[in-house]
Structure 1
Amino acid sequence: MANIELPRPVNVSPLIKFSRWSFLTIGILYGIINQKRFVRKENALREIEKAEKPIRDAKLAEEKLISTQADNKILDEFFQKKE
């Protein structure tokens, strides 16, 4: 196997190293803070939905009943005409 000489690593400026680590840390902290904010917001929305669920279910049941009655009426009219 041939000995391949690789170029020497480039010396990175301490300012660039500091900037990279600073941005990484700031990004992680930003993510943690936003995650907490979104969790609180989502929990509040879930509580609202939980409170409104019985009302919504009652409304859907009423609409389903009305729809079923209308369908039955149409079917009754259809079969009465055939007789």
Structure 2
Amino acid sequence: MTEPWKCITQKHVKLLKNAKYDYYKSPRPLLDESQIEGMEQKLSESLENQSIIEIKTCKDGYFNSRVGIVQKIDPYTIKKSYN
């Protein structure tokens, strides 16, 4: 009796991991102008009132969530700074 898993090489393992990684990716959401304005409003309010805000970002098909208080908004680079 042969063992079926003995024929799997490191290349096969890498392919399987990549397939699993790609399977769980989500498409990047498309935001309309009103959604962007709403997000900017929430960021500005958090900066002004020093209130806690949750920020969700999408990178490489995966969503990340951070909770904090906005400390600075740089209008020139459109980067938001929070802790």
Bigger helix share: 1
Q: Which has the higher contact order (CA 8 A, sep 6+)?
A: 2
Normalised by the length of structure 2, the TM-score is 0.30
- Structure of larger gyration radius: 1
Q: With the length of structure 1 as denominator, give the TM-score of the two structures.
A: 0.30
Name whichever structure is richer in strand by fraction. 2
